[in-house]
Amino acid sequence: DLQNQYQNEDIVATISISGTPIEGIIAQAENNSYYLNHNVYKKRDYKGSLFMDYRIDALDSKKLVVYGHMSYSNATPFAHLKNYLDEDYFNQHQELIFTTEEGVSTYKIFGIAVYSSDYDYMNVSFNNKGEYLNNLNRYIERTRFYDGYTFTGDEETIFLQTCYPHQKGSYIVVGARKI
């Protein structure tokens, strides 16, 4: 198992997107800052790691949020998320594979958005299905590309975030739903 292979109990999942170079190991710490500058071996590394929001239970949350650095040299897995800003790329690369100790799940990418303020996609705690659905619909309103799927609030989702290289303080956010 990956936790033993990397000698790191923080590893919670792996991710890959079919037909792209996007793949990696996802860690989760007690905060959202540790893996910004540590790799999966827990060594300091300016490239950091892919990491899941600390407020989420990877095995029991309806909405997952995974963060990763952008790199101009494409040296980080999420550097390639910028390719989703091209509509053809968005339409041709929509299968996301998410693997945990419980098994493999397939997600379909449904949207790409750029956020420079009001980072409400980072909300992961909802009192009811309506709040969750409102959160999803706010994301959809901000998408550059969206596949047209109509959400009910029962779906499991994952959001992938990296820096947007053209505007300081902005983020590319790719949304996917479990199929």
pLDDT tens for the chain, 179 residues long, are 788 888 899 999 999 999 999 999 999 999 999 999 999 999 999 899 999 999 998 888 999 999 998 876 667 889 899 999 999 999 999 999 999 988 999 999 999 999 987 788 888 999 999 999 999 999 999 999 999 999 999 999 999 999 888 888 899 999 999 99
- 53's tokens: 């929001």
Report the alpha-carbon distance of residue 141 to residue 73 in Å, rounded. 31
Three-class SS state of 37: coil
The string of DSSP codes covering 62-120 is: SEEEEE----TTS-SGGGGGGGGGSHHHHHH--EEEEEETTEEEEEEEEEEEEESS--G
Answer yes or no: are the C-beta atoms of 15 and 50 closer than 8 Å: yes
pTM of the model: 0.94
Per-residue pLDDT reduced to its tens digit, 50-92: 999 999 988 889 999 999 988 766 678 898 999 999 999 999 9
